[in-house]
Structure 1
């Protein structure tokens, strides 16, 4: 029987016991043991196997059920390693913070306290060896009594476990930054940072009972004092070569999986859709997408989940014209040059390049090339992320695909009157267009066209042709189809819309923006002038 596909299973023991296909990452247990850094932080995009890998470490090191857990590693890399002697040798605390999200600080704090109480419940058996003072503190946290010291809970538990086992503790904190990202979005960042600064630093900075601490997250939160004074922390981020293939899948791993499930003939299409992330200097595939593809056997966007993209959308909404210009460059498949700091700060999100930091760390852009200190070329990694921009951008900035798609179909069918009607309807429905003054209206519309048509048209803007620069040009990849030349104008009055649209149309003709298209074998060209005023729009056109 073929092994199963454990979609959404993040517990290593369950993956093995349910006989699910497992990408063997246990060679990195050996590397982690050899690496003597006291505290390690791994930052990677979501759904790249962080929780599963942390779970694997838990079952490897945990002194509880050591003999039973040893069986889980049968025939895996680490079983043959000299470092397998470390299996089952340490008390392990494993806590994941990804489920602490909440709209209010009080609710997040309550959820965090319940989570800590649950961790204490795992170790309630050690109470028998605690002295009276320690027992009182343990039960305050475990039973959520008044006066419980949650900020020092992990350090205290480390101490209690050390006294019980006479062995130093391994502390695993998964998705450490999740509550901070949520707090920043929901407006209670100050309260959250004050709590979690103490929560982390007490466990990691002054904890003499700790053997090693391993944390995962999406970003390294800096300048807020989370790791203040922790000179024993090394961050292995998307730029570092060490542990570069610990998270995500290599070309070889993907090829082996496809071969096992008799899908090797799909490798080139799979590469186009899901490859392209760069960690260190390695090309990496998204494991979530690969597993879903193997299960469904269909090429589609599995990784994109709009509920996790709110922070990106919020920053796009407040972005400048320059940001839209650079998005346009990315949608055309080109690279942009940006300074990406290894230290992420929420303060930077309000600055010019904050959105690029966010997209790079979240996996929506890949590091194409390092140019200089903290300066990189960025590009969209693969076709799956293009579909995120295609659907997500249009849904967020152009009402929804249900509105935008019929408008674009009307354009391609040559029904310009219907195109105008649907464009006007989009402006009336979408309140964000009212806030997009002048040029930004054009950029939103054009970017929507760019990503919607990219499979059928070469979409360019502000290119030199004839005696000037057109605003937008759609050149068909199939020359049987028509070309479209656009000029956009902003009218000062609603009454002036029609004359402004005529002016735009006249400009296309007089400045010969469509020159050379017929020579390419394109038999039909639409000249289209569009005028905007607030939520009002007028379209004039002619066919040549």
Structure 2
């Protein structure tokens, strides 16, 4: 127990050697080494969400396999770890030259800066292996120095992975291990910032040369968030094996198992209720396991058991926010189901072509799964297509959606305008609601880039925004039956003494030469004729607000019933 007292909790330390040498608490994932060796795979890609321990695991692989100077041996780093039980695996410790690259911080606004950072990572690795110059011909030395000094052209850097592996094999008389961490971080940034094709072109050449037909290669392991479609980057790498959390392989090597979470909480003397910890940070399906978000658990321990949204605060979620804003009305309806704690069934595909995300909801659903913003259950094959039930894994991730939905309107009209509109609605001030909604809609419709006269995008975004903002005090429902039809939006207060609301939206029919006034009157008449307020009356509400709202392009009109 005296030894245990010396352990520290690490936040953001992803260097395996530092973690062990400085006596930080380590959740033992060393059997990843055995699984990689047993697989006999030449090239393995292990996609997992961000902050799921990918970089630390890759650092562990480097420390295990890399042959080092006799004065800097790393064997002691693995004393007492699970891998030490397997003598056949330990025979591989410290036996191979290793190329280790991480692209996790290559996220820039412009391709020129991205390319510079990619080159810097490659230059750094060439510098680390500068001793191989002693084994090179004069021509090879010139080529090596062009890369090491950063003066080489695009062709020099695209062939750098292949060249360095061949040089290392010659120097060590042993085939090379190549470990590439977060290979797709530059691709995500490129998609968001508009230089996607440039990055894909470079990565296809760089990885293709180093991993396809490389006689110096022993094995390679890569991590990232997505499996970017094979035809985009991995064309021709026929020995590539991809293991996402849909498969059983490696399913307990990323993320914390519940037994590991219990052990960590106990070690640091925390008495958090396990059910609460589950609701906040568990719920990710990984093969047959349910795993916890490791970044969140580590921060929970660091902050002495305080529940916060640790994971969602590690990124600005720019890509997710942008994609959700532009998704179809049909997808927004499904998101409404999810944020209420429901499930939706969707086809699952592991290959992601980033440029298809905006064109195809199915690709976006899969992007959300593999990025960690959704999880899945009941994964199964139906005829020739895999399906699964999708759901939000936990409270922490649910917060991401709520913040995104609320912030849609903050960018379009400002949170003040949005909050004033909601406040007038829930307090029953119908006159103020009419005024604030019309102003709010005018500003927000411009932000949502409405096409034609259909308000679907704005309408579904509004429902999600209301749901996110009011769910602690109200139920927000849409397209539900009441009376003799389906209302558009109903807001039901948990406190039945407060006012309830029914809203019917109408788009102006220009073919019928409608005006905003006529369309809003039709909406109000439909609301009354079909008794849409029946559900509120049945619940015992005595104050019921009724609004008919008409849209014409970026104009709107609210009539009070």
TM-score (norm 2): 0.89
Structure 1 partner of 2:547: 528
Structure 2 partner of 1:326: 334
The answer to which of 206-215 and 518-527 deviates more is 518-527
Alignment equivalent of 1:353, drawn from 348, 362, 387: 362
Provide, for residues 126-169 of structure 1, a one-character-per-residue CA deviation record: whole Å limited to 9, x for no partner: 32333333322221211123457111111111111112121211
Task: Give the whole-Å Cα distance in 2 for the aligned partners of 1:175 and 1:22.
Answer: 21
Alignment equivalent of 1:115, drawn from 99, 116, 121: 121
Alignment equivalent of 1:49, drawn from 53, 61, 69: 53
Structure 2 partner of 1:379: 391
The answer to which of 501-510 and 163-172 deviates more is 501-510
**Aligned pairs for 1:76-475 within 5 A:** 76-82=81-87, 83-146=89-152, 149-296=156-303, 297-305=305-313, 309-349=317-357, 350-372=359-381, 373-397=385-409, 399=411, 401-430=415-444, 431-433=446-448, 435=450, 437-475=454-492
Structure 2 partner of 1:36: 40
Structure 1 residue 521: Cα displacement: 4.1
2:476 and 2:489 in contact (8 A); partners too: yes
Alignment equivalent of 2:529, drawn from 499, 503, 510: 510
1:482 and 1:523 in contact (8 A); partners too: yes
1:50 and 1:174 in contact (8 A); partners too: yes
The answer to which of 476-485 and 167-176 deviates more is 476-485
Task: Give the whole-Å Cα distance in 2 for the aligned partners of 1:422 and 1:262.
Answer: 52
2:427 and 2:498 in contact (8 A); partners too: no
2:492 and 2:500 in contact (8 A); partners too: yes
SS at match of 1:363: coil
2:409 and 2:415 in contact (8 A); partners too: no
Structure 2 partner of 1:9: 13
TM-score (norm 1): 0.92
The answer to which of 336-345 and 80-89 deviates more is 80-89
SS at match of 2:273: helix
Structure 1 residue 347: Cα displacement: 4.1
SS at match of 1:172: strand
Task: Give the whole-Å Cα distance in 1 for the aligned partners of 2:6 and 2:274.
Answer: 20
Task: Give the whole-Å Cα distance in 1 for the aligned partners of 2:151 and 2:515.
Answer: 70
Task: Give the whole-Å Cα distance in 2 for the aligned partners of 1:16 and 1:79.
Answer: 15
1:398 and 1:426 in contact (8 A); partners too: no
Provide, for residues 30-76 of structure 1, a one-character-per-residue CA deviation record: whole Å limited to 9, x for no partner: 22122211111001111111111101111111111576422222322
1:105 and 1:188 in contact (8 A); partners too: yes
CA pair 106-434 structure 1, distance change in 2 beyond 3 A: closer
Task: Give the whole-Å Cα distance in 2 for the aligned partners of 1:19 and 1:488.
Answer: 62
CA pair 315-40 structure 1, distance change in 2 beyond 3 A: same
Provide, for residues 211-251 of structure 1, a one-character-per-residue CA deviation record: whole Å limited to 9, x for no partner: 11000111112243522222211100121111112111111
Task: Give the whole-Å Cα distance in 1 for the aligned partners of 2:433 and 2:258.
Answer: 44
2:430 and 2:545 in contact (8 A); partners too: no
2:405 and 2:461 in contact (8 A); partners too: no
Task: Give the whole-Å Cα distance in 1 for the aligned partners of 2:6 and 2:489.
Answer: 52
CA pair 299-537 structure 1, distance change in 2 beyond 3 A: farther
Q: How many residues align?
A: 542
Provide, for residues 288-320 of structure 1, a one-character-per-residue CA deviation record: whole Å limited to 9, x for no partner: 112222223332222225855333334334332
Task: Give the whole-Å Cα distance in 2 for the aligned partners of 1:401 and 1:29.
Answer: 50
Question: Unaligned regions of 5+ residues in structure 2, if any?
Answer: none
2:282 and 2:293 in contact (8 A); partners too: yes
Structure 1 residue 392: Cα displacement: 1.2
The answer to which of 520-529 and 270-279 deviates more is 520-529
Task: Give the whole-Å Cα distance in 1 for the aligned partners of 2:476 and 2:158.
Answer: 54
Task: Give the whole-Å Cα distance in 2 for the aligned partners of 1:248 and 1:401.
Answer: 36
1:11 and 1:52 in contact (8 A); partners too: yes
1:255 and 1:264 in contact (8 A); partners too: no
SS at match of 2:227: coil
1:12 and 1:55 in contact (8 A); partners too: yes
Task: Give the whole-Å Cα distance in 2 for the aligned partners of 1:5 and 1:478.
Answer: 44
Task: Give the whole-Å Cα distance in 2 for the aligned partners of 1:433 and 1:120.
Answer: 48
SS at match of 2:74: helix
1:342 and 1:374 in contact (8 A); partners too: no
Root mean square deviation of aligned Cα: 2.6
SS at match of 2:40: coil
Task: Give the whole-Å Cα distance in 1 for the aligned partners of 2:377 and 2:430.
Answer: 40
Alignment equivalent of 1:72, drawn from 69, 77, 91: 77
CA pair 468-15 structure 1, distance change in 2 beyond 3 A: same
CA pair 394-57 structure 1, distance change in 2 beyond 3 A: same
Task: Give the whole-Å Cα distance in 2 for the aligned partners of 1:524 and 1:306.
Answer: 44
CA pair 397-490 structure 1, distance change in 2 beyond 3 A: same
2:503 and 2:546 in contact (8 A); partners too: yes
Task: Give the whole-Å Cα distance in 1 for the aligned partners of 2:136 and 2:220.
Answer: 24
The answer to which of 470-479 and 154-163 deviates more is 470-479
